Amino acid sequence: MALPLPGVVHSGGGGGGPHHGRAQRTRSQPTGRNAGCVFKNPAGNSAGRILDELGLKGTRVGGAVVSPRHANFVVNEGRATSTDVLALLDLLHERVERETGVDLELEVKVWRPRA
């Protein structure tokens, strides 16, 4: 999974309106600059749980870091580049696949502007 692309955006979705589940999200998900969950949950499991069980919270590349609050979120601590984020996603994907055999699928969409 090599993604040398300059942008990452969340694929959207989620329902229930703007206030649905806000309190729960505040407790369990990071605030600040992030694109939401970065990997889809594999059948019968949780991507966040897998990443957490492998001890990947806090893993960083440049200014991009796996949230200590929820392992399926990558947070921009202020100076992360798209290259940092994509390299971190690559590292996470490869580690999970190598250690568990699970091939995580991106939840976010990778976007590249037209030249």
* pLDDT the model gives residue 112: 74
Which is higher by pLDDT, 50 or 3?
Answer: 50
pTM of this structure: 0.74
CB of 89 within 8 A of CB of 38? yes
Task: Count the neighbouring beta carbons within 10 Å of the beta carbon of residue 63.
Answer: 16
* pLDDT the model gives residue 4: 41
* pLDDT the model gives residue 22: 53
CB of 62 within 8 A of CB of 79? yes
Which residues are CB-contacts of 105 (< 8 A; sequence separation ≥ 6)? 39, 40, 42
Cα distances (Å, whole numbers) of residue 88 to 13, 15, 45, 113:
24, 28, 21, 21
pLDDT in tens, 75-103: 998 899 999 999 999 999 999 999 999 99
pLDDT in tens, 20-57: 555 555 556 676 788 889 999 999 999 999 999 999 99
94 in helix, strand or coil? helix
* pLDDT the model gives residue 54: 98
Burial of 106 (0-12, 13-18, 19+ CB in 10 A): middle
- 């392992």: which residue's tokens? 71
Task: Give the domains, in start order, of the chain with CATH numbers.
Answer: 29-111 (3.90.78.10)
